[in-house]
Structure 1
């Protein structure tokens, strides 16, 4: 059964033969292994290009920034899953990753879409500050939350976001998207009537876009990063099991109130 248009099935990523693996047109064993870091290899896999030094540096930086944030609900889900089935490392990892969304892991992809829209309007000749204000008003009037702003823990600033901006400025990476992110911060404060923390998700998106990272793959960065963090928690869970402790505390925190 065919669904959609008839297409020739192709891939540009990888092929394997009896004695070789070719990735993006390069011999895995002879050209890539021993030469590229995993971060560089990841960029090559996603884009088909090897990163520049600045792209590699900031990709490393952003992965580190978002990989770990304590005993978050995603971590709890992963650890409780491993406690229930100690052999299912992949299942426990999947349980954590499935809980990674705009509420718990961040809104980097939504931030990217917002900045891309802002850039499109500015490139069309609109004033950058007015574009930021219009976008902020549209979000506010629709009852939405401004992606990339606010944080339940970090106040008055998100230290990760501030460090990313500091290094982006120092390394000459801050471009139109970082500028628009800063304008959005001012616009959101004006529209909401109070300053809101610009969090790490906005700065991740802004820097990635200024480094010519594919907008549709911005969410890949927090997902890859958090995979590393979850695996660290699962390694600890194997040595120091707390999954059932977490489950016990959750059960104790919820009161049963029968419907009358």
Structure 2
């Protein structure tokens, strides 16, 4: 088969969207050097995500721990703004792809971004330790620096519903500890995460939950993912819940459902009308 003629600036055009992720041409698809036909039926979805993002293939043990973090983050019910938004969108006549986009677009700095922020705190504490600080001092100073810049709430710790324990976090941390014993990870960020939890609890005088963001951030840090991917991977996992709830709401029906039933009206706090 003769290749079609190309303009003289073809190299510039190719460079425009250059990528090391996919090698695609008629009859050929390869991801990071792996032909798609070799990947199909041979790797899990979690392994495929790792390959796409990282460029290499995880060990089975790394993939198993990575998948645990993804599974834990899929859903938290309609109390979560991303899920509620998807369900409301489903009652507005949107298609499923628009429903998913609506939910995912609710994942911002506060809802969805806590994993990235928590990972940044963990890496800051790790750097302080590398620079010679004792762990307790590094944790205390790291938390103080965080609060000075971002406020009282430390991302990854505390939960509106789950007090004093987020049921997802202890299981994830136990799996990290198992992985550390087997040499899959070194357990450093598990130590840091638990130390942050203890320090916050000590200063407030009562226990505080490490939440899903704090625990998944430990896993992603242990596996070598930079902080922005702690957010991106959580958003990817939560997309499963967005899809599920959006589809369920489409089956249930309903028209233009708002955030609360019509019989409940928002409290009006403005100037009262005379009528």
| TM-score higher than 0.5 | yes
- Whether 2:203 is the aligned partner of 1:191: answer yes
Equivalent in the alignment of 1:144: 152
Tell me the equivalent position of 2:6: none
Aligned length: 252
C-alpha distance in 1 between matches for 2:57 and 2:127: 27
Distance 2:262 2:209 in 1: 29
| Equivalent pair of 2:112/2:231 in contact (CA under 8 Å) | no
Cα distance change of structure 1 residues 230 and 8 upon mapping to structure 2, 3 Å threshold:
closer
Please say if 1:229 is aligned against 2:236: no
In structure 2, the residue corresponding to 1:138 is in which secondary structure?
helix
Cα RMSD (Å) of the superposition?
Answer: 2.1
Once the two structures are superposed, the pairs formed by residues 137-216 of structure 1 within 5 Å of their partners are: 137-142=144-149, 143-172=151-180, 173=185, 175-216=187-228
Deviations 1:137-171 (A, max 9, x none): 23345533111111000111111001101122123
- For 2:142 and 2:28, locate their aligned partners in 1 and report how far apart those are by CA, in whole Å: 51
Post-superposition CA distance 1:63-117 (Å, at most 9, x none): 111101111222121122121124x221111110111134333611001111111
Within-5 A mapping of 1:38-53 = 38-53=45-60
Output the CA distance in 2 between the equivalents of 1:219 and 1:97.
12
| Cα gap change, 1:104 to 1:179, in 2 (>3 Å) | same
> SS of the residue aligned with 2:247?
helix
Looking at structure 2, the residues matched to 81 and 8 of structure 1 have their Cα atoms a distance apart, in angstroms, of 36
- For 2:70 and 2:253, the matched residues in 1 are separated by 27
Deviation at 1:40, TM superposition (A): 0.6
Counterparts in 2 of 1:81 and 1:21: CA distance versus 1, 3 Å: same
Candidates 119, 127, 134, aligned match of 2:134: 127
Q: Which has the larger radius of gyration?
A: 2
Contact conserved, 1:64 with 1:225, CA < 8 A, in 2? yes
CA contact (8 A) 2:83 2:103 kept: yes
Change (3 A) 1:248 1:119: closer
Gaps of 5+ in 2: 1-14
* TM-score, reference length from structure 1: 0.88
Question: Any gaps of 5 or more consecutive residues in structure 1?
Answer: 1-6
* Cross-structure match for 1:13: 21
Secondary structure of 1:15's aligned partner? strand
Which range moves more in the overlay, 163-172 or 177-186? 163-172
- Measured in 1, the distance between the counterparts of 2:255 and 2:85 equals 8
For residue 218 of structure 1, give the secondary structure of its aligned residue in structure 2.
helix
Q: SS in structure 1 opposite 2:51?
A: helix
Q: CA deviation at 1:191?
A: 3.1
Residues of 1 paired with 2:130 and 2:267: CA distance?
Answer: 55
Distance 1:250-1:63 versus aligned 2 partners, 3 A rule: farther
